[in-house]
Structure 1
Amino acid sequence: MAVENSGEILKKAEKGIANFLKTSRDAGRIDDQLYQIALNNTFKKLKLWLEDPNIDIISPLLKKGIIDTINSGDWEKVVNAFRQNVRFGTGGIRGMMAFDRESIRRMKDGRDGIGSAVFKGPNTINDLVMLMTTAGVAQFGRAQKPVLEKVVVGYDSRVRGHDFARAVAEVFLGYGYTVYFFDAPCPYPEVTFAIPHEDVKADIGVLISASHNDYRYNGYKLSCANGSQFDPEERDEMYHDYIQKIEPKDIVGHICKFKDAGKDKLYFLGGDELLDDFDYSGKEMNLINMHRAHRRHMQSFLMTENLPEQQKKSKNPLNIAFCPFHGAGYKAVPRLLQNVGFLPENIKSIDGTSENMGLNELNGMFPAFCSDPGREQQPDPGDPRAARTAVKAFKLDYGEKAFKDVDILIGTDPDADRCGIVVKIPEKQRHIYSFNKEDYYLLPADDMWTLVVWYRLQREIERFGKIKDAEKKFIVLSHTTSDSITRLALKYGLGVVKTWVGFAALAAATRDTWDGKAREMAGLKNGHDEKYIELCHPFICETYGMTEGKRSINYAAMEQSNGFSILGGPPPDGRSLGVGGHVRDKDGTFAALLVAEIAAWAKEKGTDIIGLLDKDIYLDPDIGLFATFYEPDPLDGEYPGIEGDRIKKNILIKAYDLYDQALGGKLVIAGRKVKAAAVYRTGKYDEIYPPEKDFVFPDEGIRLFFEDDPARQEHITIRPSGTGNSLRFHIQLHDFARADNLNEAKNRLRNPKDGLGIRIMNELRERLDAPRR
């Protein structure tokens, strides 16, 4: 739309922005650095958008939303939308589609969809930002040698996910790419599987998703030709040399509608049959059955060869409840579990129909979770509150009695790359795990992955009498993931690589190990060696046992935030999965399958998940009882807007103060002395948080080590998000217990009311001025 009275509109905006920022600084809501950055950027970016005629072609109603907001005088919204571009992180971009619920509902239900006249800016996820990002990625690919030619595009259940994905695909088509487009919402791991699959062999993958964030968010997940995230060097080149330089004119003339694409330029990924509610634009013959290929690949990792027969003949077949949390796993996970042999009548999907929760429906508003302003909850299968929602919905659907028969409840997030497991608690231990002595408990991912690795090692020993090629095998895990897995791996002769947080780091460390660089990693301690002195290694924290033998087979890759995969041995080329390996990013559907197999095996032996952990992990003198605790801050989402930047920074300044106290021998938390500390800093976000004289951004966290722990396996970690205004607090405690005092030891550490873990977390929050909110 042509902007009438543009001079007056811009003059009003310039004055309103300046006054808002000055008032915010004077009131202490933002600091001088934030003030100056926002003052330099906000009006300049706003003026560019309002004066660009190409935007009227791409998104005709976009400027109306901006002008309406300027006229309303909501300068906080204006500043937050235009003070910066959406931050480009390790896996792409992620942010809010809008700052209020009504705008997102208009986008979801209104006839204009992603083109609605809601307020948009370069710091929100909207049609223009998505298309400009795509044009940058497309130009990057075309500049490579050899040029990148194929792209997989998928989407999950987010609001207007299909429309965003289709618009993205049309830009790739306009730049001459061959597009492989999913015909229905799909799990992210199916995208990462499809990219290197022999029927596709794509160069790039894109999923429209914001993972487990609340309903306001959407995003753009990027993968490279082997399904992992792009390397930092490629990612930096893509962003700085291409995405950052894109203008709206780079989109105009580069949009090719599906109906206009050549038959050899557009393919569809789906299942056995065409879907009635999807428009294949006359290319129905171009459907590839990727669902079947993904399922068959995952089935090959089962350790129980006769699982279907065993479940049919069993007097106690496994009873599974499944909750997709409104997401793309709603068909994929039950279908996978049935295909491998679990009985269909024993797999119960959760919806919460009687209270209109709709957990088994694709709905990006996530109606089972609170959406009230300031109280937005996220569908995270690793959140105990989400577990309670799933249990409540199951009981509504099937009744209290049916829940007593459930062995495990599996949950996946909206893009199904994370998996959470709810298990039953023995009656005598309910006071240890639950505030209200409930009979269920959300198993921490730390314990879940420990058990997965242990189980696979045990079954291998059963079959071969030993761990085959143990001297070649290794695990990778993030530095905030439990050391129980480290001790377990070392006990059985496997090497261990600890990385920084995120599957990009796990995949990069595995790749370097495949490439024979294990010995180069061996000298790293807390990310430092003689080469990495001021800053840490870009993705590795430290290693154990990696100089013994030729480590080349990844046995497991995992992180505390409910992500798991198995990467296998060296791939035949840089565009393939590892030999004998799964996808190079986390897969919640895969994890669901592996844990279900363990639960079935345990049930046949007369025990359960907690029973296995007690006997084979916690009482193992080579491992012991590790208790880990995690809380995000804030509990949901992030601290909003420009003021959120200040809140996060102030918490980190207080964390640095604790670091100084620890080094000075003056820090005591919950009665425990802290006498050592470390700052984990790679510098990867220094462009977003420029180093200051009195503050540098600790992108991988600040760790405080408790004094009476020579192995340094009891600690606190305060880790900030690099691209959002949130933090993560991690605690790891350890003890050795005997069979006669195990429950007492667990209660001392884990009791949710007054155990050591919760007391440390409470005092930590108090000292950081970060109350639960």
Structure 2
Amino acid sequence: MQHDLIAQARTWLAEDPDPETRDELAALIEAGDTQELAARFAGTLQFGTAGLRGELGAGPMRMNRSVVIRAAAGLAAYLKAQGQEGGLVVVGYDARYKSADFARDTAAVMTGAGLRAAVLPRPLPTPVLAYAIRHLGAVAGVEVTASHNPPRDNGYKVYLGDGSQIVPPADGEIAAAIAAVGPLDGVVRPEDGWETLGEDVLDAYLARTDAVLAAGSPRTARIVHTAMHGVGTSVLTAAFERAGFPAPVLVAEQAEPDPSFPTVAFPNPEEPGAMDLAFATARRAAPDLIIANDPDADRCAVAVPDTSVEGGWRMLRGDEVGALLAAHLVERGVSGVFAESIVSSSLLGRIAEKAGLGYEETLTGFKWIARVDGLRYGYEEALGYCVDPEGVRDKDGITAALLVAELASVLKERSRTLLDLLDDLALAHGLHATDQLSVRVEDLTVIADAMARLREQPPTALAGLAVTSAEDLTRGTDRLPPTDGLRYHLEGARVIVRPSGTEPKLKCYLEVVVPVADAAGLPAARVRGAELLAAIKRDLAAAAGI
């Protein structure tokens, strides 16, 4: 077995086009590090509806140029099989390690396969790529990004010509085409022949951002902004300037792209400590809001002044921002369908119903939300908001930031805040409190074991609330295709358990709904909601064995 492993590694080494990963792999072979080699050659990084995502390094279980070239060749073969010979593929990339290399390799493979390729002019937010696909009439797009993953990761996200991410069966067909790619020396990769786009594509995206705001709306909200060492700063500040908002105050330590992400353990606004520098900046600048983007700026996090919490600033949950934006759009008189994924708060459905708007619930991910017929607004709790589906059929942290700032400006004119509007929503629809139990693992069998345990011994009650129905989502439902997940409905609560599609995590999404009779009852309702969530989290962890 050891001999076969070394032979497999030497075969990979012989065709690796990257001197860095060649040196890395050669050193492992020379050292006879079979444990590390076994980890890297235990299989292949699987291409799915999230594309590819993994740790950088040599070998088929890591993100590297060899893996990317095969992915690009498989995608090219799939597009040609769909009759797209000669079609345009737009390629974008973030500022992570190797992103520019992976983008160039993708453009070279597309060109060599008889397609046309155009690369964005520099590292830019993922929403710019999603916009450019439809703007340029492309047959597909690729974004090289690992979003908010740790610094050593990178990823490969694929869009088709409608500007939305791939879903079955396209993902399986592309995966099969990737598996059919032969030796890399058979993949034609010319040195040139593709186009590098100019700044005009970004200008067109920025012009489109104006569409999310109401004509003549107030633009007075002052924000502190952090890009989390990603690519969002220049685009967000340009969008705010075009719209006529005050210039954002930047978190200087995190404003420029830096693939090492030196000030955060994980470049995700939801992670503990990630917002500390933004809070410190806000205490000096005294803005109306803090807005944070993740490194590829497709997510948008919001924090608000709150004297009741330590430090004076509170992060809003994704579900809270999702409801606030929905309420704002309703007040503006929009029409169409509101949509969210099953893991998001049920409050959106109540807002849509009261406003007489359509409502749809989808599987997790914007690849599903973006496909809802007549979509006007979509969101999911992981800080993703689609506020202009005609422009970007995906989550967009730039346009979401503009819409949040507009809402804050409208409320500011009325001497009110986002927290006041949340109170209004609780009084109108009940207090919808949400939380998450998220467990990051080194060994993926922990996740499989937890899911199996819950399927074999489903809980009958959580936090003293009876489980009124339990669904195994692998079987699908009347309105949802199959997915690996479990859903429990309780008396006044809901729980969904699923493995993450992009990280080694088991995620459990919790929601309780507490009736509120009047404003005087809000504090007690919040306490009750927090108590129930904590108890559900405790009981669910015990039931899952995590």
Taking structure 1 as the reference length, what is the TM-score of the superposition? 0.67
Aligned to 2:538: 762
Distance 1:339 1:251, change over 3 A: farther
Give, in angstroms, the shift of residue 138 of structure 1. Answer: 1.4
Aligned to 1:729: 508
Q: How far apart in 2 are the matches of 1:596 and 1:728? A: 30
Give, in angstroms, the shift of residue 768 of structure 1. Answer: 2.5
Give, in angstroms, the shift of residue 163 of structure 1. Answer: 2.1
Aligned to 1:238: 174
Q: Which of 191, 199, 202 is equivalent to 1:291? A: 202
Distance 1:361 1:701, change over 3 A: same
Aligned to 1:445: 318
Matched ranges for 1:99-248 at <5 A? 120-197=58-135, 200-240=136-176, 242-248=177-183
Distance 1:507 1:682, change over 3 A: farther
Aligned to 2:525: 745
Aligned to 1:558: 379
Aligned to 1:548: none
Q: How far apart in 1 are the matches of 2:245 and 2:409? A: 9
Q: Which of 670, 673, 693 is equivalent to 2:463? A: 670
Matched ranges for 1:493-508 at <5 A? 493-508=356-371
Distance 1:148 1:556, change over 3 A: farther
Matched ranges for 1:484-495 at <5 A? 484-495=347-358
CA contact 1:50–1:63 (8 Å) conserved in 2 = no
Q: What one-letter code is carried by the residue in structure 2 that aligns with 1:585?
A: D
Q: Is it true that 1:412 corresponds to 2:293 in the alignment?
A: yes
Per-residue CA deviations over 1:8-57 (Å, capped at 9, x if unaligned) read xxx7444xxxxxxxxxxxxxxxxxxxxxxxxxxxx4xx64452368605x
Q: What one-letter code is carried by the residue in structure 2 that aligns with 1:247?
A: G
Q: Which of 349, 354, 369 is equivalent to 2:264? A: 369
Aligned to 1:324: 227
Per-residue CA deviations over 1:215-255 (Å, capped at 9, x if unaligned) read 01101111111210124122222211x11111233555x11
CA contact 1:323–1:350 (8 Å) conserved in 2 = yes
Question: What SS is found at the alignment partner of 1:132?
Answer: helix
Distance 1:251 1:368, change over 3 A: farther
Per-residue CA deviations over 1:480-527 (Å, capped at 9, x if unaligned) read 11111000101111121111101111123x1xx3xxxxxxxxxxxxxx
Q: Is it true that 1:457 corresponds to 2:330 in the alignment?
A: yes
Give, in angstroms, the shift of residue 741 of structure 1. Answer: 1.1
Q: How far apart in 2 are the matches of 1:598 and 1:251? A: 54
Give, in angstroms, the shift of residue 415 of structure 1. Answer: 0.8
Give, in angstroms, the shift of residue 658 of structure 1. Answer: 4.4
Question: What SS is found at the alignment partner of 2:452?
Answer: helix
Distance 1:385 1:765, change over 3 A: farther
Q: What one-letter code is carried by the residue in structure 2 that aligns with 1:83?
A: A
Q: Which of 24, 46, 56 is equivalent to 1:97? A: 56
Q: What one-letter code is carried by the residue in structure 1 that aligns with 2:313?
A: Y
CA contact 2:85–2:115 (8 Å) conserved in 1 = no
Distance 1:676 1:385, change over 3 A: farther
Give, in angstroms, the shift of residue 334 of structure 1. Answer: 1.3
Aligned to 1:306: 216
Q: How far apart in 2 are the matches of 1:726 and 1:764? A: 15
CA contact 2:50–2:501 (8 Å) conserved in 1 = no
Question: What SS is found at the alignment partner of 2:274?
Answer: helix
Q: Which of 251, 254, 266 is equivalent to 1:350? A: 251
Aligned to 1:627: 433
Unaligned runs of 5+ in 1: 1-10, 15-42, 99-119, 271-288, 312-316, 353-358, 371-377, 461-466, 514-552, 569-580, 663-667, 684-697
Q: Which of 345, 348, 357 is equivalent to 1:482? A: 345
Larger radius of gyration: 1
Give, in angstroms, the shift of residue 724 of structure 1. Answer: 4.7
Question: What SS is found at the alignment partner of 1:89?
Answer: coil
CA contact 1:557–1:565 (8 Å) conserved in 2 = yes
Per-residue CA deviations over 1:247-270 (Å, capped at 9, x if unaligned) read 233555x11223xx2xxx424142
Q: How far apart in 1 are the matches of 2:126 and 2:13? A: 36
Q: What one-letter code is carried by the residue in structure 1 that aligns with 2:208?
A: H
Q: How far apart in 2 are the matches of 1:682 and 1:89? A: 19
Give, in angstroms, the shift of residue 606 of structure 1. Answer: 0.1
CA contact 1:554–1:566 (8 Å) conserved in 2 = no
Matched ranges for 1:525-564 at <5 A? 553-564=374-385
Distance 1:676 1:256, change over 3 A: same
CA contact 2:227–2:233 (8 Å) conserved in 1 = yes
CA contact 2:146–2:156 (8 Å) conserved in 1 = yes
Q: Is it true that 1:618 corresponds to 2:398 in the alignment?
A: no
Q: How far apart in 1 are the matches of 2:412 and 2:20? A: 58
Per-residue CA deviations over 1:87-106 (Å, capped at 9, x if unaligned) read 112131111104xxxxxxxx
Q: How far apart in 1 are the matches of 2:430 and 2:12? A: 63
Q: How far apart in 1 are the matches of 2:415 and 2:397? A: 27
Question: What SS is found at the alignment partner of 1:561?
Answer: coil
Q: How far apart in 2 are the matches of 1:53 and 1:607? A: 62
Give, in angstroms, the shift of residue 74 of structure 1. Answer: 3.4
Aligned to 1:590: 399
Question: What SS is found at the alignment partner of 2:245?
Answer: coil
CA contact 1:148–1:203 (8 Å) conserved in 2 = no
RMSD over aligned Cα, in angstroms?
2.2
Question: What SS is found at the alignment partner of 1:628?
Answer: strand
CA contact 1:703–1:718 (8 Å) conserved in 2 = yes
Q: How far apart in 1 are the matches of 2:36 and 2:119? A: 35
Give, in angstroms, the shift of residue 148 of structure 1. Answer: 4.9
Q: Is it true that 1:680 corresponds to 2:473 in the alignment?
A: yes
CA contact 2:212–2:387 (8 Å) conserved in 1 = no
Aligned to 1:576: none
CA contact 2:12–2:59 (8 Å) conserved in 1 = no
Distance 1:648 1:341, change over 3 A: same
Q: How far apart in 2 are the matches of 1:600 and 1:208? A: 35
Q: How far apart in 1 are the matches of 2:224 and 2:20? A: 45
Q: What one-letter code is carried by the residue in structure 1 that aligns with 2:535?
A: R
Aligned to 1:390: 278
Give, in angstroms, the shift of residue 672 of structure 1. Answer: 2.8
Distance 1:87 1:325, change over 3 A: same
Question: What SS is found at the alignment partner of 2:444?
Answer: helix
Q: Is it true that 1:604 corresponds to 2:542 in the alignment?
A: no
Q: Which of 498, 505, 509 is equivalent to 1:719? A: 498
Q: What one-letter code is carried by the residue in structure 1 that aligns with 2:90?
A: V
Q: Is it true that 1:82 corresponds to 2:41 in the alignment?
A: yes
Distance 1:121 1:628, change over 3 A: same
Taking structure 2 as the reference length, what is the TM-score of the superposition? 0.93
Per-residue CA deviations over 1:600-656 (Å, capped at 9, x if unaligned) read 1111110110011102x1111xx211001123211xxxx23xxx1211111212322
Distance 1:148 1:734, change over 3 A: farther
